[in-house]
Structure 1
């Protein structure tokens, strides 16, 4: 069955120091599955990556994992994915994930998560895609980043319209619904009734 939507989620291959990070990853995965969606992610089985994938599968959603050969062992590739694609490079991974997604969401994570989030935001402002991009700010993890981004606007390096290309929120369910609605895949009244 064709999924109602496909959401690319970037997140940590570690669980992080606060239990709220894992709870948010599981909440996002459950929401995707319960709303007939598909998760596209980095294909790992550990940390927040594994939590969001397992929760999506447990809630009846499909999971597309994309992982480079070099990281199959390091990230313990999730063999339970609906589809697991092993690619040659990180560039191949990111391209395939972007192609398979209707929207993007960054959860708590490290350098890889930051890089992927900024890349899809950059691609959007350059016009390479017009897919919604979101940042889920759990336990204030991204407060400093949000302050920094506002400082770049004040400093004249980022425009307000570029900031408007991303959505940030502490509310997972509200952000998820907004991203899917912004992708034009489900009007809010119908999505809320599922």
Structure 2
């Protein structure tokens, strides 16, 4: 892994621990000489992680739709800033550029990106590790719901097991580095 795509909020959240967690993740990526791929925002947790990476002279690849450039949220300090037409283009390019994915706390956009990568991995369109950075228990409710989906027969445990979950950046990146994708040739339909 050389480039990690990080999905995170365009807001910082109400608790300073989220910004601290973004810096902690950046510091661990810096220590491992990893580059950042992200949504190119200069606001929220997106701006926090990008600024931390750039301050250490690490490569930051931003991908952003023109509409967001127009409202002045593009981070002009990115090593490489790619402007695309649509959010769909943005998500696909971010998926292509990254060797692995981490979803930090965020909102609807982060949730959408998380589930898209889960789907792409499940269907073997990609074979890359995906981690949920469960900082301060942010995703506890979602994890409970995903387990409920398994219990109710709408999600296979093997699909859920592809998701790496943790609250420590070093452990998350270690698990991502050791990731061995396990794909089921035929999903059992009930």
Same fold (TM over 0.5): yes
Report Cα offsets for 1:13-63 as digits up to 9, x if no partner.
000011110001111112212211110000001100001111111223210
Q: Name the TM-score, length of structure 1 as normaliser.
A: 0.89
1:37-186 to structure 2, matched below 5 A, reads: 37-74=34-71, 76-182=73-179
Q: Name the TM-score, length of structure 2 as normaliser.
A: 0.91
Q: In the aligned structure 2, how far is the partner of 1:161 from the partner of 1:148? A: 16
Q: In the aligned structure 2, how far is the partner of 1:24 from the partner of 1:154? A: 32
Unaligned 5+ runs, structure 1: 185-194
Instruction: Please tell me whether the aligned partners of residues 32 and 61 of structure 1 are also in contact (alpha carbons under 8 angstroms).
Output: no
Q: In the aligned structure 2, how far is the partner of 1:133 from the partner of 1:127? A: 13
Unaligned 5+ runs, structure 2: 182-190
Q: In the aligned structure 2, how far is the partner of 1:75 from the partner of 1:12? A: 16
Instruction: Please tell me whether the aligned partners of residues 10 and 107 of structure 1 are also in contact (alpha carbons under 8 angstroms).
Output: yes
1:11 aligns with 2:8: yes
Q: How many residues align?
A: 181
Q: CA RMSD in A?
A: 1.5
**How far did residue 72 of structure 1 move?**
1.2
